[in-house]
Amino acid sequence: MARIGNWLSTWKRELKEKDFSSGIFAYLVSKGFVSARDLSEMDEGKIVEIVETSNAVEYFLGKWRENYRKVEEDR
């Protein structure tokens, strides 16, 4: 959950630093929205647009919530 939270809260800053190690960017590549090469060559604004329209954030929020529910059930 901490890793997902970190990805969701830092991907825009990491984009500015050309740090594409976040799960957000891995999601984009794995789902075919962009290639690794695209990430290194594409304009930041275009990448933000792709992230926002790809449902990557919603996907990881869903995973975070799913894990949260599991933790709550085990309490």
How confident is the model over 28-70, as pLDDT tens digits?
999 999 999 999 999 999 999 999 999 999 999 999 999 999 9
**What is the Cα–Cα distance from 42 to 44, expressed in whole angstroms?**
6
**What is the Cα–Cα distance from 42 to 60, expressed in whole angstroms?**
23
Q: If you average pLDDT over residues 1-20, what whole number do you get?
A: 96
Q: Does residue 40 contact residue 18 with C-beta atoms inside 8 Å?
A: yes
What global pTM score does this model have? Answer: 0.89
Q: Which pLDDT score is estimated for 60?
A: 97
Q: Which pLDDT score is estimated for 74?
A: 87
pLDDT in tens, 20-37: 999 999 999 999 999 999
Q: CA 22, 58, 65, 15: dihedral to nearest 10 degrees?
A: 20
Q: CA 10, 12, 14, 16: dihedral to nearest 10 degrees?
A: -150
